Chains A and B, each alone.
Chain A
């Protein structure tokens, strides 16, 4: 492992890669601050640029964007009570009241240090857990992978559906259907191309991500007359107050950080869960850990209440890399986008990544830590200035997002058809968003579609067409049982609330 860490450090500490982490963190922070635009949009917009670099650099850049976006979301939560990303909603519960009390600088500092500590501790957990899990996952066979993908898709549908499980499952199926367009990987038979040559190679992953996130989010902002910059104009960003944390506050933070980093990391590892669930759970649990006197301060500017979700959401981001790096199965929409980008580089993440491309495996882990340091340096002194970017009018912001999306597709294919297809998918996605059809399950399904079919093919051929492979091995049966539990829980919730 020491050798791996050194390889990772050597790769991550090159001038180019440090520069990329900085660019990623900076860009991610800006996008994350803007309400409505999340890490997936930020990463999607970066993908075409990453193809100009080697895989390690590309992934390092995307990891920087991911952290930056979650970090940036905290800033708008605290200053504006307008969370940039869902994972920072819980941050606003105590961060915004603190800012209203004239302690915005302190709230930002607590958030920055908590995020740094949460992310750092989670990176250490990842450092120890990932190689061991990689070795364990070498024993995984096709039926296990197939079952794991079913679990991942069911879980993301359950967690991201906001009580609309069936809608989320419809999006999963739609994602798999889109992935089935083009040549069959084994027989080369073309499917669903309708004799259109442009579809022979299938629909580009970048196209789907750009259409369903970047472009669709931009169109939704216009359609709903949202203005990400409107709230920013009401806030005086120059009067943030001191960023110093006193001894008492430091003691409170030191108590909250370790336990919430564990909660965040474990939630992040779970497929489908992520920063949002981690931050809410941490906030709720922290409330139970503290004294009654401190409990009464929750929602009114509690240090514990701010530290807990901030630690957990950053720890969850690191945790989400565990299934991606060790199993090759992303646990969240954001890591699904990263998986798609890696596949574009010709790299198959999974247990063998640790052996075949150790420089990528370790440099990503190491660059996470470097990213944390850079974010801390970036957030503390620069945040009042970065926050001014929030005031960029949507008249400029939206065309620029559309420009980056279309350019991203154009430079990859030099093809009008892809641009039309992207616009078509974006319009449909925008309309579906209005009716709460979630997009992350679609992306995860689209990315996993090919792998899922491949593993189902192998499993069915080995078992001569029998579906017994789902319960023949204890590991497969256990994974399927968890899936059944999630579905049963959703059915129970539905019957209880009559909300399906």
Chain B
């Protein structure tokens, strides 16, 4: 059997389904519901078996058209940096506030992707976010928590 990444993904999915099934069997249902034809764990149990069935088939059956991905041509570094910036954004957004973190997220993402024209970086981050925030907060009346703007007295 030829092992390729698709089969490894399928194997991981098989293990995931097995764990899902194990967890499904351990769902605590009400005692009066235990022997009912359908309770909270019935559907998940079917899903667990279905997941194992399909991923098992994918692992076992031979693959003719194997998908080959040229990892050397992939831009892992920039993608990882973007993901990291997004995680930092998620971490700081509630603590610092929407305006500053979003503006910095955009500015740093443009920079990470290779943009070096500072005027455009600035225009498409701080003023853009201010405008968008006005649209959300001012026009659509969607509340946006912002401790930073509160601190400097811009937001009430």
A residues adjacent to B (C-beta < 8 A): 49, 52, 163, 166-167, 169-170, 173-174, 176-177, 180, 184, 186-187, 189, 191-192, 219, 222-225, 393-396, 398-400, 402-403, 406-407, 410-411, 414, 416, 419-420, 423, 427, 430, 432, 434-437, 452-453, 456-457, 460-461, 463-465, 497-500
Instruction: Determine whether the beta carbon of A453 is less than 8 Å from that of B39.
Output: no
CB distance from A482 to the nearest CB of B (A): 20
Instruction: Determine whether the beta carbon of A222 is less than 8 Å from that of B65.
Output: no
Question: Quick one: closest A residue to B129, CB to CB?
Answer: A403
Instruction: Determine whether the beta carbon of B90 is less than 8 Å from that of A219.
Output: no
Contact of A464 among B37, B44, B75 (CB under 8 A): B37
Given contacts A52-B140, A184-B40, contact A223 B6 (CB under 8 A): no
10 contacts between A and B (CB under 8 A): A166-B57, A170-B55, A189-B30, A223-B74, A223-B76, A402-B105, A407-B102, A414-B145, A420-B90, A437-B9
Query: What 1/0 mask marks residues of chain B from 128 to 140 whose CB sits below 8 Å from any chain A CB?
Result: 0000100010001
Given contacts A49-B140, A399-B106, A453-B43, contact A419 B89 (CB under 8 A): yes
Q: Which B residues between 44 and 95 are near A, CB-CB below 8 angstroms?
A: 44, 47, 50-51, 54-55, 57-58, 61-65, 67, 69, 73-76, 78-79, 82-83, 86-87, 89-91, 93-94
Instruction: Determine whether the beta carbon of A177 is less than 8 Å from that of B51.
Output: yes
Counting chain B residues whose Cβ lies within 8 A of the other chain, the interface size class is: 35 or more
Contact of A394 among B54, B87, B91, B113 (CB under 8 A): B113
* Chain B residues with CB under 8 A of A167: 6, 58
Given contacts A191-B27, A395-B110, contact A170 B82 (CB under 8 A): no
Complex Cα spacing A420 to B90, Å: 7
Complex Cα spacing A49 to B94, Å: 20
CB distance from B62 to the nearest CB of A (A): 7
* Chain B residues with CB under 8 A of A398: 82, 109, 113
Given contacts A219-B83, A435-B69, contact A189 B109 (CB under 8 A): no
Complex Cα spacing A497 to B24, Å: 37
Instruction: Determine whether the beta carbon of B65 is less than 8 Å from that of A499.
Output: yes
Contact of B20 among A177, A219, A423 (CB under 8 A): A177
Instruction: Determine whether the beta carbon of A189 is less than 8 Å from that of B40.
Output: yes
Instruction: Determine whether the beta carbon of B93 is less than 8 Å from that of A187.
Output: no
Complex Cα spacing A461 to B43, Å: 13
CB distance from A430 to the nearest CB of B (A): 8
* Chain A residues with CB under 8 A of B83: 219, 423, 427
* Chain B residues with CB under 8 A of A427: 83
Given contacts A49-B140, A222-B78, A500-B63, contact A423 B86 (CB under 8 A): yes
Lowest 10 CB-CB distances: which A-B pairs, in order? A465-B37, A419-B90, A399-B109, A184-B40, A52-B140, A395-B115, A395-B113, A189-B40, A453-B43, A460-B38
CB distance from A294 to the nearest CB of B (A): 35
B residues adjacent to A (C-beta < 8 A): 5-6, 9-10, 13, 17, 20, 23-24, 27-30, 33, 36-44, 47, 50-51, 54-55, 57-58, 61-65, 67, 69, 73-76, 78-79, 82-83, 86-87, 89-91, 93-94, 98, 102, 105-106, 109-110, 113-115, 120, 124, 132, 136, 140-142, 144-145
- Extra 17 A-B pairs, beta carbons < 8 Å, given A222-B78, A460-B37: A52-B142, A173-B17, A177-B44, A187-B29, A191-B40, A225-B73, A396-B110, A396-B120, A398-B109, A399-B106, A399-B110, A410-B93, A435-B9, A437-B9, A460-B42, A463-B37, A465-B38
Complex Cα spacing A421 to B72, Å: 28
Instruction: Determine whether the beta carbon of B73 is less than 8 Å from that of A173.
Output: no
* Chain B residues with CB under 8 A of A174: 13, 51
* Chain B residues with CB under 8 A of A400: 106, 124
Given contacts A419-B89, A435-B5, contact A180 B67 (CB under 8 A): no
Complex Cα spacing A434 to B6, Å: 10
* Chain B residues with CB under 8 A of A186: 40
Complex Cα spacing A225 to B77, Å: 11
* Chain B residues with CB under 8 A of A163: 65
Instruction: Determine whether the beta carbon of A166 is less than 8 Å from that of B30.
Output: no
Given contacts A163-B65, A174-B13, A395-B113, contact A456 B91 (CB under 8 A): no
CB distance from A380 to the nearest CB of B (A): 30
Complex Cα spacing A219 to B41, Å: 36
Instruction: Determine whether the beta carbon of A187 is less than 8 Å from that of B86.
Output: no
Given contacts A52-B140, A224-B75, A399-B113, contact A191 B106 (CB under 8 A): no
* Chain B residues with CB under 8 A of A393: 115
Given contacts A173-B54, A174-B51, contact A402 B82 (CB under 8 A): yes
Instruction: Determine whether the beta carbon of B87 is less than 8 Å from that of A423.
Output: yes
Complex Cα spacing A99 to B17, Å: 50
Complex Cα spacing A395 to B62, Å: 41
Question: Quick one: closest A residue to B78, CB to CB?
Answer: A222
* Chain B residues with CB under 8 A of A457: 38, 42-43
CB distance from A198 to the nearest CB of B (A): 13
Most buried by A among B29, B44, B67, B90: B90
Contact of A434 among B38, B44, B69 (CB under 8 A): B69
Instruction: Determine whether the beta carbon of B54 is less than 8 Å from that of A170.
Output: yes
* Chain A residues with CB under 8 A of B115: 393, 395-396
Complex Cα spacing A460 to B38, Å: 7
* Chain A residues with CB under 8 A of B124: 396, 400
Contact of A456 among B9, B38, B93 (CB under 8 A): B38
CB distance from A116 to the nearest CB of B (A): 31
Complex Cα spacing A468 to B142, Å: 50
Complex Cα spacing A485 to B93, Å: 51
